[in-house]
Structure 1
Amino acid sequence: MHLLALGLSHRTAPVELRETLAFGPEELPGVLARLRDEARVEEVALLSTCNRTELYVAHPVWPDPEVLIRSLAAQKRVDPENIRPYLYRREDLEAAAHLFRVAAGLDSMVLGETQVLGQVRDAYQAAAAAGTAGKVLSRLMTGALAAAKRAQTETGIGQNAVSVPYAAVELARKLFETLQGRVVMAIGAGETAKLTVRHLAAAGVGRIYVANRTLDRARELAAEVGGVPIPLEAIRQHLPEVDVVISSTGSPHPILRREDIQQALRARRGRPIFLFDIAVPRDIDPAAGQLEGVYLYDIDDLEQVVAANIEERAREARRAERLLEEELARFRAWLAVQDVVPTIRLLREKAEDIRQAELQKALRKLPGLDPHQRRVVEAMSAAIVNKLLNDPTQRLKALAEAGEADGAARLVTLLFDLEGPDVGTRALPLPARAERAAPPVGQG
């Protein structure tokens, strides 16, 4: 059985093109059925996210990628010539290695992100429901999910925030241990501030004040996160009750002075306050950071945290790669064994035919046997055949796992004079590195 992965992603195609080939969950049953029928392949799955669209195909002989490309493009009314230059292909174990890396977040725009794991699971479930995921793709995709889960649980690849909003939230969480019930104030409604407030709201904070020079913009963000809009002039009034401040205005001068923070601290009776100043020029007087109980981070501080976290994720990614190679080796061994299954099946079928013929001869010569005695004789003959075939079966599987399936299958076929379709197989070398890329479609 051959494996083929064919697709495009954020690494090869612009977002405008990726959008044209994005498929929603409701489209998948029809899309998968049409791909299977038009390309005449046994198994097909489709992974479609905002960053990638990838086909995974399993078939006894090499499927024609051009048919797959045309079928995929036709379902979105796209000219195949417009997408062909952006496509890549992976074959056999390279296809498996690619899916393992995708599921683990090693091929994502944000290294180690975990959302793609659920998307791979959805793609598998959609193919299974459509009846287009057979034995090979089922094993491939469940193997990828298991490998990705190991990478996430046994390494820190998904830990450590790698964006400024996430970094701010994680720092606040470390200071307060829990963000449940904490009071937040957003000053300004820029994009980074919006993202930070959304993450804080998702983390379960309590009241959220949103202050902005334009009150309508404050109301807009406050409505989205269940917050309270306030005019910019009211920030000092509410500051004593606030645990976390995110400030991102376009003011040329600081809008919170050291004295403002000091006054709020006295009212807070020693409770710490976390200040994220992500404005340029800065909104908060840097001298406020010298006050006891004040934790002040500006945009440079947060970007340094992000840079350090990205470096840490890269180190963890190298550990994850080694785990994926272990899981890929297991899949390779399983796939190799599948190529000798026809030989094993033919061998056992021939042995069973011989057993049944000889059993009937023996029973005709022993007409006086009662039903219990007949069952004993039949069970004995079955046990003899099973025990005789057990060692050859296990050795054949072991040789297949060692990459010697071709010769072993042909030898068994010759020795036992087996009849049936070609039971030879192909050697499947394990790639030296799981991330090694196959050539693009146009070159492969």
Structure 2
Amino acid sequence: MIAKSNIILIGASHQTAPVELRERLSFSQEEIRQALDRFKQDGKLREGVVFSTCNRTEILYVPGGNPDPDRDPVEEMIDFIADAKQIDKSEFKPALYVRRGDDAVRHLFRVASSLDSMMVGEPQILGQVKQAYRAAVESGASGVLLNRMMHKSFSVAKRVRKETGIGDNAVSISYAAIELAGKIFSDLSSKSVMLLGAGEMAELAVEHLISNRVKKILVANRTFDKGMILAQKFRGEAIRFEEREEVLKDVDIIISSTGATDYVLSRDQVKRAMKKRHHQPLFFIDIAVPRDIDPKINDVSNAYVYDIDDLKNIVESNIQQREKETVKAERFVEEAVLNFRKWMDSLAVVPTIKAINDKMTRIVNMECEKTLAGLDHLSPEDVKAIRRMTRAIASRAIHDPIRFLRHTGDHRDDSLYLNVARQLFNLDMKEE
């Protein structure tokens, strides 16, 4: 017997658990493989996928064909997590959420589409979902139901990304900085950039710059070795921190994120550099706290300074825009949930048998009438006999497949055979 409620998702995320607990619940790739192998061996799960990132740990599964009637499959999964992670249930159970049936399907589709992410619209989540599914396939833990469900999550995520602007606008400080640079200089591929500082914010900014194919990246850090490591990582060039003023004549964008307590570039330094660069525009992005760049530089002609507060305003505006796009994305998710429900409903014996009968009836009637149209000499009795014969042949042809489908058993995965039958007879010609 196949029921939507057989699909269960249990997990904890950034919305329900602090980072300390999420770290303890996290599964490594090796632990995921071991968990999937254990699921197969104990027979309590028919299908399963384990998904674990820094922001969530979730297990999506279909209980096995021989569940313990005295045990809730959710409680069994909680026991498994407690045992696998060596954590007392009381420590993590309050942070868990449980989704069943359509709610589980909806949750997966929202996760894959980045609607449930800490940063809505971030693109990495879909790759992480695909990685989790790949592990399940390699372990033989994913079957007909979850195969279909996971692939539908990929398609709805792709549609959300393509048909909404959910990922168009920067919602991180480092990304907003590069987006702003792109608006001031329409083509970053011809521009050179100097990074002041080699910390995490600077590294994130470099990654965004590379995706925009900037012409050249220079890294100036107080510790030259650290600056050289970052420069080599991204095929840039390291310079001494003391060279920063001299280099101003050769770069177009300066991104600063040092830990200095005083300004590392002053108005007078920039004023001298502007003469050497013939007053070509110079763009400063100051993402340091306290600030690295003297705000008075804004008084210099063709010099533009944006600090972290300016960037936060951009980010807040972009978040509001993403929230508008989220409404459309949620509609796409609901459409996908309805389509998956229709497919699940089709995996019942009666609808599938009826669909096979209806298709065969249409085929034999059409072919019979085409043949009879060219046989005008036949008597009415002969025509009736031919029609009876073709229908009898069709009925006999599908008799054994239908009897097989009706013969359900406790130890048989009916969803597998029903899905194969629908594919063999091409009953789902219109893919959702």
TM-score, normalised via structure 1 length: 0.73
> What amino acid does structure 2 have at the position aligned with 1:120?
V
Over 3 Å counting, the alpha-carbon distance change for 1:347 and 1:324 in structure 2 is closer
The Cα of 1:330 is off from its aligned counterpart by: 0.7
Task: Output the CA distance in 1 between the equivalents of 2:223 and 2:407.
Answer: 82
> What amino acid does structure 1 have at the position aligned with 2:62?
A
- Unmatched segments (≥5 aa) in structure 1: 353-375, 394-417, 423-444
What CA deviation, in whole Å up to 9, does each residue of 1:418-440 have, x standing for no partner? 88669xxxxxxxxxxxxxxxxxx
Task: Select which of 377, 382, 385 maps to 2:393.
Answer: 382
Over 3 Å counting, the alpha-carbon distance change for 1:35 and 1:310 in structure 2 is same
Task: Output the CA distance in 1 between the equivalents of 2:83 and 2:9.
Answer: 19
Does the alignment pair 1:185 with 2:183?
no
Task: Output the CA distance in 2 between the equivalents of 1:212 and 1:67.
Answer: 54
Task: Output the CA distance in 1 between the equivalents of 2:190 and 2:116.
Answer: 37
Task: Output the CA distance in 1 between the equivalents of 2:291 and 2:408.
Answer: 78
Task: Output the CA distance in 2 between the equivalents of 1:259 and 1:48.
Answer: 52
> What amino acid does structure 2 have at the position aligned with 1:274?
F
- Unmatched segments (≥5 aa) in structure 2: 361-386, 411-432
Does the alignment pair 1:341 with 2:341?
no
Contact 1:39 1:67 in 2 (8 A): no
What CA deviation, in whole Å up to 9, does each residue of 1:188-221 have, x standing for no partner? 3454334323432454434433323444543454
> What amino acid does structure 2 have at the position aligned with 1:341?
V
Task: Select which of 149, 160, 172 maps to 2:158.
Answer: 149
Of residues 66-75 and 248-257 in structure 1, the stretch that sits farther from structure 2 once superposed is 248-257
Alignment of 1:2-401 (within 5 A): 2-38=6-42, 40-59=44-63, 64-180=73-189, 182-201=191-210, 203-269=212-278, 271-338=280-347, 340-341=348-349, 344-345=352-353, 380-383=391-394
The Cα of 1:233 is off from its aligned counterpart by: 2.5
Task: Output the CA distance in 1 between the equivalents of 2:391 and 2:203.
Answer: 76
Of residues 266-275 and 308-317 in structure 1, the stretch that sits farther from structure 2 once superposed is 266-275
Tell me the secondary structure at the aligned position of residue 343 of structure 2.
helix
> What amino acid does structure 2 have at the position aligned with 1:133?
S
The Cα of 1:123 is off from its aligned counterpart by: 1.9
RMSD: 3.3
Task: Output the CA distance in 1 between the equivalents of 2:333 and 2:205.
Answer: 33
Over 3 Å counting, the alpha-carbon distance change for 1:9 and 1:246 in structure 2 is same
Tell me the secondary structure at the aligned position of residue 110 of structure 1.
coil
Contact 2:47 2:64 in 1 (8 A): no
What CA deviation, in whole Å up to 9, does each residue of 1:13-40 have, x standing for no partner? 2222222332233443332131244361
Task: Output the CA distance in 2 between the equivalents of 1:293 and 1:182.
Answer: 16
Over 3 Å counting, the alpha-carbon distance change for 1:39 and 1:289 in structure 2 is farther
Task: Output the CA distance in 2 between the equivalents of 1:224 and 1:384.
Answer: 69
Contact 1:18 1:52 in 2 (8 A): yes
In structure 1, the partner of 2:369 is none
Over 3 Å counting, the alpha-carbon distance change for 1:252 and 1:75 in structure 2 is closer
> What amino acid does structure 2 have at the position aligned with 1:156?
G
Tell me the secondary structure at the aligned position of residue 210 of structure 1.
strand
Task: Output the CA distance in 2 between the equivalents of 1:190 and 1:129.
Answer: 38
The Cα of 1:174 is off from its aligned counterpart by: 2.9
What CA deviation, in whole Å up to 9, does each residue of 1:154-178 have, x standing for no partner? 1011121111101011122233334
Contact 1:35 1:71 in 2 (8 A): no
